[in-house]
């Protein structure tokens, strides 16, 4: 009699990877005496305040970049063929530029295509994007709206995000020039 072994689904793999990542992070923070675990609950220790401030400031530019990617994916219409990582990143880079010019973020690193591409891949790994192979052999992405929206709300807990990201740049009066005829 043959036994069939079912392979775990992609969702199971993503969930397992996330649990493993969190467990490793908690163990690393325990080694730094930043957290303690009691009865399965993780508690921040008072000595960790400096470390937490450092980590928050260190990761904020990445989270802002990832949030820009998420905003683009939630607001742009996605063709049935999906969007390539390059297309998503170029749109996110344009939005990040508007945010910089309007003073809505101080982080120039949000313009980095590497950072934005890492955001796309992280969202796919977390199940917020579905991946598909296109006819031209490129990978395309489709947002999973509900999961992506939840992920963006989670990111917003750690960063300052404008209530309405910019759609166009407004030049300050000192840069406006009038043509004289």
pLDDT digits (tens, 9 = 90+) for 13-43: 666 776 788 888 889 989 988 889 999 888 8
> What CATH architecture applies to the domain 58-162?
Orthogonal Bundle (1.10)
Q: Residue 18 in 3-state DSSP? A: helix
Residues linked to residue 44 through DSSP beta bridges, in sequence order: 35
Average pLDDT, the chain: 82
Better pLDDT: 57 or 69 = 69
Domain ranges for the chain, please list them.
58-162
Q: Is the pLDDT of residue 132 over 60?
A: yes
Q: For residue 118, how many other CB atoms are within 10 A of its CB?
A: 17
pTM reported for the whole predicted model = 0.71
CA dihedral 118, 120, 124, 125 (to 10 degrees): 10
pLDDT of amino acid 3:
39
pLDDT of amino acid 14:
61
Mean pLDDT within 96-102: 94
Q: Give the C-alpha separation, 72 to 79, whole Å.
A: 13
């Amino acid at each position: 009699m043959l036994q069939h072994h079912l392979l775990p689904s992609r969702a199971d793999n993503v969930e397992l990877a996330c649990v493993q990542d969190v467990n490793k992070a908690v163990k690393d923070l325990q080694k730094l005496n930043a957290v303690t675990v009691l009865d399965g609950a993780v508690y921040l220790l008072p000595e960790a305040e400096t470390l937490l401030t450092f980590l928050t400031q260190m990761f904020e530019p990445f989270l802002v970049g990832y949030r820009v990617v998420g905003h683009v994916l939630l607001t742009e219409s996605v063709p049935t063929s999906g969007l390539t990582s390059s297309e998503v990143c170029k749109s996110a880079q344009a939005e990040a530029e508007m945010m910089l010019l309007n003073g809505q973020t101080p982080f120039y690193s949000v313009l980095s295509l590497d950072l934005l591409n890492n955001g796309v891949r992280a969202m796919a790994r977390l199940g917020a994007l579905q991946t598909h192979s296109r006819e031209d052999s490129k990978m395309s992405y489709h947002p999973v709206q509900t999961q992506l929206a939840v992920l963006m709300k989670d990111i917003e807990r750690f960063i300052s995000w404008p209530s309405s990201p910019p759609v166009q740049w407004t030049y300050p009066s000192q840069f406006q020039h009038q043509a004289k005829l």
